[in-house]
A = this chain, B = another copy of it.
């Protein structure tokens, strides 16, 4: 079950990567590679930190997700991407699923609760951060106009508690992911945000 959610998260993030590739004028192979990096990057970092073989390279099913995503974006991008928020919605889906599956994988491998929650957040925000960095774009993760890491932190913390009290199952996992997705989307819609990094905002300057 966790595998299904993880593959779905991979697929959603891969779609976001391929959509960004389309928007930036990359070719179909660039779309496949940016989708792969987005969909698989966070999980690879999590697995390296956990000291296990990255699933993305061990299970071929993980490679199908970016392939399907790149093909779909190639053929459907007209109608789909004309809606400006499409990329953000798929990205939110990946974020929601990965904070859950990332934390649960860490717990399954014996991580303590704090580490598991951190790895859930790392998995959730890692792929999108790599996508934005290699595509030379200001990362969504640092956009102060809405909440990005906060719903992932919330979801990772909640699923760790759910797992600790023995209530983890496909339904609770899906419910937590839906909560994260909802908070992320609502924060975009209603411009929910947290305070800036500094009480006194500074202008961008050297150095």
Contact = CB atoms under 8 A, between A and B. Distances in A.
19 contacts: A21-B197, A22-B198, A27-B194, A29-B150, A29-B194, A30-B197, A31-B198, A44-B49, A57-B115, A63-B114, A63-B118, A77-B199, A77-B202, A81-B198, A81-B200, A84-B207, A87-B207, A88-B207, A134-B141
Nearest to A196: B27
B144 A27 contact: yes
Contact of A49 (B21, B57, B202, B203): B57
A199 B133 contact: no
Interface stretch (A3-11, A68-76, A164-172): A68-76
Interface string A131-152: 0011111111111100101100
A185 interface: no
A29 B205 CA distance: 21
B198 A57 contact: no
A53 to B, nearest CB: 6
Interface in A31-87: 31, 33-34, 44, 48-49, 51, 53-54, 57-58, 60, 63, 70, 73-75, 77-78, 81, 84, 87
* A interface secondary structure, majority: helix
Contacts of A114: 60, 63
A129 B104 CA distance: 31
Q: What is the interface residue range for chain A against chain B? A: 35 or more
